[in-house]
Amino acid sequence: MQLAEAFAITPVQASYELTVYLVFAATGPLFVLPVANTYGRRPLLVIASLLAGVTNVVAAYSPSWTGILVTRVFNGVATGCLAALGPPIICDVYFLHERGFYMGLWAFFVNNGVHVAPLLGGPIAQNIGWRWCFGIPVSLLETSGL
């Protein structure tokens, strides 16, 4: 495991990077969504998107294991917030008769990302390095114009 080798830690310790992300992605919306109900979804969507991108860049260039864990905490909160805002935004944007289709698309991509990520991340980490697993999502957002 390249991450474990890069920071001289065990593979179990390296797996904490994903664990920390998942814990905060699951619990973050509990604290963030009341803010969205008060101040609106758009500001929160913009801030969470920006935070997710910035924390990925910082993780890609992080010289320490602690730095990666801290960035994954904030990245988890940001992406958890984005995932939680998906259904309400779809309900705001689309008519009742259109919502099923777009909610299905949203659910398909959110639920299958965890299946596709290892299939893409493994070859990326093996061939060009683990840091690109954090950098490529940001570069894809940049090239898409978001």
Q: Which residue has the higher pLDDT, 137 or 108?
A: 108
Mean pLDDT of the chain: 90
Those residues whose C-beta lies under 8 Å from the C-beta of residue 58, and which sit 6 or more positions away, are 67, 71
> DSSP 3-state assignment of 109?
helix
Q: What is the mean pLDDT of residues 17-39?
A: 91
Q: Letter for the amino acid at 9?
A: I
Q: How far is CA 44 from the centre of its chain?
A: 15
Q: Residue 25: which of 60, 54, 52 has the closest Cα?
A: 52
pLDDT tens-digit profile of 89-122? Answer: 999 999 999 999 999 999 999 889 878 988 998 8
